[in-house]
Structure 1
Amino acid sequence: MSIDDRPMAKTTVPAPHRETLHGTDLPRATTELLDGLVEHPWGQVSPSVYETGRLVTLAPWLSGHRQRVSFLLERQRPDGLWGAPEVGYALVPTLSATEALLSVLVRDGDAAGAGRDRLARRTARALDAVATHMCGPSAPAIDLPDLPAIELIAPALVEAINGSLDRLRDAPVPGLEAWAGRRLGTPAGLDGTKLGLVRSLLGSGAAAPQKLMHALEIAGDAAAGLAHARPEPTGTIGASPAATAAWLGAGESVDPSNPGRWYLETVVARHGGPVPCGYPLTVFERGWVLAWLARAGVPLTVRPEIVLSLTAPLGPAGTPAAAGLPSDADTTAGALYALALLDAPCRPDILFGYELDTHFCTWQGEDGASVTTNAHVLEAFGEYLTALRARSAAGTDSAARYAAAAAKAADWLCGQQRPDGSWEDRWHASPHYATACAAIALAAFGGEDRAPAVEAARRWILTTQRPDGSWGHWEGTAEETSYAVQLLLLTGRSPAADAADAVTRALPHLLRGLTSGDGAAAGEPAMWHDKDLYRPEAIVRAGVIAALHLARGSGVFR
């Protein structure tokens, strides 16, 4: 696959490929997707209840405040909580939204306007739900998901809620009388000890780990003007609207030329008031979109500036998912893999900085380990070795080292497979994502010794298809269905009869996912891990296009 380096107004696809598939034009969808990468260079990602709630509290002066409050009210579930069905995933967004609505009532008083009674009712419902399901003396233990900084964020939010409840004694709010002076406990297993240590570190003036900047809002008053924090060229602190707002402090007095303020105004304008957790995510989005399309053999012509956006950030430690975050092996491997598929291979030596005795870490000092990071590392080394073989350079010393690194990642992946044939991972709520990442990488670059692991993954996929033909962890989704279809069609030379039948039954869900526009607006859940769950729309759409293209090429879909 080659890169057309001539200046172009848009991506083009040769006319013979322009087939209509049940009214869906895949080449046009691909063109629109690639054009969108340029039109929205900071990325296309769903807004977050958690992050939006933090701006309601930290930046009421910022454009779109009313829209953010309305967003929180609209996203509240009938049971009073926010977020995904599992209580563990609901914890962070629910505490943030509850604290934000309470802060509006306590801080703004009559400024809450005609909707004050409604706001008070919703806040009381939220407090009741939090006490019942999360932070009350009889609340059950919560199975906490591996979300970044959850052990800091949850205690910080409980502390802030309790502060507002204390203030209700002196400034009562009609509808919240029963909560005046009451206290919430922290969820089981989160006692606030680590939060106290981190706040002491930040308050001491010592330099903190860069990844901590992504959740700087947990520092409280110490975050404002933190001396060693400096805005990135985009204006962000920690690639986070909440962290940036916390660093700005009292926004009314912020210099109008402050880049942090204009970063926030830019993000708010892009999303109509609400904001996502991590933004911008240019390299992460582009690497995944291009890799998934190219891996599936989707015909595409890539603008040179998109390729440059993947190569330019590559430094001695690789590349971060977004400016303001530390470089990581996952994003670096994804970018390297995409570049190799696009015939612009870069040496993957920078990944050795993440090599451990048994596997590759996402970043040094990581708590835990990531299946999908190691799957992407395997693909990056494997695809570069393929390029070396094409140049008859596979016998060099460096090639031997790359092969050993790929084998290490493959061995570790096989050791992490669950007995049922699936994998799960810390960066996504669905095992279908982790299983597709691991099985596809092992099938392509793991060698024959790993074939049993791939076959076990195929069996698991076939047994977890829903009666309606979709796949999904909480419900059937086009996103997860695309992962299952890609696994079935990229891990075998030709689909067996049972796999072909499974793909055929999945096609209506993929087509609906492609034609329904914004998946979040269509009701599909956010499933990717950040401080809150998020949905990277362009990446998800690339997965759906890839799955449909593979289905057409396999003969299952004509």
Structure 2
Amino acid sequence: MNSLTRLLLYMKNLYITYKKINILNIKKYWCMHRMKQFTQLKEAILDRIGIGQPGLMSPAAYDIAWLARVPGENDFTIPAYPEALTWLRDNQHPDGSWGSDIEYVHDRIISTLAAIIALAQWDDINNDKLYKTQSKRIIEHGLEYIRNNAGRLEFELPTGGFELILPALLQDAEKIGINVHCQTFLPYYRMREEKLAKIPSHLLYSRKLSITHSLEFMGDSLDLERAEIFQDSNGGVGFSPSSTAYLLTKLPRNNAARSYIASLVAAYGNKVPEVFPFDTFELSWSLWNLFLAGADSSDPKIEHHIRDLKSVWDKGEGVGSTTVSSVVESDTSSMVFSVLKMAGADPDPIPLRQFEKEDYFICYHYERDPCTSANVHVLEALKGVDEKATEKVRRWLYKSQVDCSYWTDKWHASPYYPTAHAVIALIGVDHDLARSASQWIINTQRIDGGWGYYNRSTAEETAYCLQALTIYSREVMPIDRNILERGRRCLLAFDNKRPDLWIARSLYTPITVVESAIYSALIMTTDYLYPAFGR
């Protein structure tokens, strides 16, 4: 090799090296810039959450419809919140329904029926002929959706309290001259009776049962002399805007309920959410996501939140979605326990025992069917703490897995949520079960790199999958890094639109919880894929 050839080769290698260093610096700068943005997002989340906070949630058409039915404070013949009626008129979907952008038929039917009743209830107060013609057209379009889609209900898991609420709404509709005429709904009357038969009669009027969250199911059978027993300290019923609005349609002079609704409208305007407040739920889920991403429990803001959660937990009763409500459940209780355990607070597991049954853990007392995500979160909470309970839930998850691949859930419309959380909970418990679920997630990655169950990728579902795959790859078996990188790039490209995927009586989005999951997934994948850049 002559001198010129050696020189050219040297210069070529030097250029390649320079190019690599330059690319590395660009990547490092980009990652540092992104990390700064991520840190700002984390700080915003920590400032927003907390015991006593109202929570941040998407509006729910179902609850807005009930708000629209509240009579005026001084004149019961007019609506107290006519703006809610305007919102309903302006937000009917092209197919005639109301509800989430993602078509979940239970959500659409219950929301549509509630909206139709609200609009028809106040039709007579407006003498404008054009208004009445438009209103009639809107209502007929909604009824058409219900009749055309009722047969699809059997292919979905029901929304919360659907079998209780639907018969009551049908009766309300009939009273104001709206006849749905749908044979598909007849079995729900029987299901309603089966549900109520599970509840001892002396507990029917109790704030401690989850049915208070759907009190409107009582329709005209509500005992008005005993109704106030359902109200919590803030005047609300079951931390539910719709249940409290229902109470006001029966007891319009109930000042405590009006005060609750007024505080709700002040916080959210007339676009009210599914629940209010939901401080424990929002705080525990958000902190769990932050801890997965390596958040430091000695951070003063996090320390403050942990002290508050420990104080709530140490009452020994279990917890529910909010500190205001008397209703406790295993899902939020498990998440609070896990967060306290992750923070080294050594929580007592005894409050979780009340939810244990022979083969699984219930979510609410007297519920009809077990809940996947609640059992997954119990597993996450009790692994390393209670071997017997851990094995019980593991066996139940093994039996309930769909096609040896994934799980569905009654609190979330997407199987990616329970499946991703199950993968995380199964680490250190059953790696074979975690492997089959991880493989299903990998196999269903979309061409854009994201994940989504309803014909498109969403930031929320993509975040859950990235959390699970990153932990699985780190703790069990490395997966193709391109899978994580493609998912990460897709997640970074999403805008701020968040389709409602969480299930209560209708679909909703706990906005801060979802943001914390997205933050968590971005931090986890960045740390795993680019450890040299650090934070």
Q: Distance in 2 between matches of 1:117 and 1:39?
A: 48
The alignment yields a C-alpha RMSD, in angstroms, of 3.2
Q: CA deviation at 1:32?
A: 0.5
Q: CA deviation at 1:286?
A: 0.4
Corresponding residue of 1:424: 408
TM-score scaled by structure 1? 0.80
The question of whether the paired residues in 2 share the 8 Å contact of 1:199 and 1:222 is answered with no
Distance 1:545 1:183, change over 3 A: closer
Corresponding residue of 1:75: 91
Corresponding residue of 1:210: 209
Total equivalences in the alignment:
491
Q: Distance in 1 between matches of 2:180 and 2:402?
A: 41
Corresponding residue of 1:220: 219
Q: CA deviation at 1:341?
A: 1.1
Distance 1:504 1:318, change over 3 A: same
Q: CA deviation at 1:251?
A: 6.4
The residue correspondences of 1:279-294 to structure 2 (distance < 5 A) are 279-294=276-291
Q: CA deviation at 1:495?
A: 9.5
Q: Distance in 2 between matches of 1:310 and 1:415?
A: 33
Instruction: Give a deviation string over 1:202-257, Cα, whole Å, max 9, x none.
Output: 99996356212111112123444534624222221111112112223466534xxx
Residue type at the aligned position of 2:318: G
Q: Distance in 2 between matches of 1:405 and 1:337?
A: 15
Unaligned 5+ residue runs, structure 1?
Answer: 1-15, 167-181, 386-398
Q: Distance in 1 between matches of 2:375 and 2:152?
A: 34
Q: CA deviation at 1:101?
A: 1.7
Instruction: Give a deviation string over 1:271-314, Cα, whole Å, max 9, x none.
Output: 11021222211111101100111022135623554224322333
Distance 1:365 1:554, change over 3 A: same
Q: Distance in 2 between matches of 1:480 and 1:206?
A: 37
The question of whether the paired residues in 2 share the 8 Å contact of 1:320 and 1:332 is answered with yes
Q: CA deviation at 1:526?
A: 0.8
The residue correspondences of 1:26-425 to structure 2 (distance < 5 A) are 26-38=38-50, 41-59=53-71, 65-83=81-99, 84-106=102-124, 108-110=125-127, 115-134=131-150, 142-165=154-177, 182-185=179-182, 187-188=184-185, 190-193=187-190, 195=192, 207-208=205-206, 210-223=209-222, 224=224, 226-227=226-227, 229-249=229-249, 253-254=253-254, 258-299=255-296, 301=299, 302-314=301-313, 315-322=315-322, 323-324=324-325, 326-382=327-383, 385=384, 402-425=386-409
The question of whether the paired residues in 1 share the 8 Å contact of 2:209 and 2:365 is answered with no
Distance 1:554 1:249, change over 3 A: same
The question of whether the paired residues in 2 share the 8 Å contact of 1:362 and 1:370 is answered with yes
Q: Distance in 2 between matches of 1:358 and 1:26?
A: 41
Q: Distance in 1 between matches of 2:320 and 2:82?
A: 33
Corresponding residue of 2:442: 462
Corresponding residue to 1:551 among 522, 525, 528: 525
Residue type at the aligned position of 1:539: V
Q: CA deviation at 1:162?
A: 2.1
Distance 1:359 1:511, change over 3 A: same
Q: Which has the larger radius of gyration?
A: 2
Q: CA deviation at 1:269?
A: 1.6
Distance 1:540 1:63, change over 3 A: farther
Counting aligned pairs with the same residue, the percent is 25
Q: CA deviation at 1:130?
A: 2.0
Q: Distance in 2 between matches of 1:41 and 1:69?
A: 28
Q: Distance in 2 between matches of 1:151 and 1:86?
A: 16
Q: Distance in 2 between matches of 1:551 and 1:133?
A: 41
Distance 1:205 1:478, change over 3 A: closer
The question of whether the paired residues in 2 share the 8 Å contact of 1:229 and 1:237 is answered with no
Q: CA deviation at 1:190?
A: 3.2
Q: Distance in 1 between matches of 2:180 and 2:131?
A: 26
The question of whether the paired residues in 2 share the 8 Å contact of 1:64 and 1:273 is answered with no
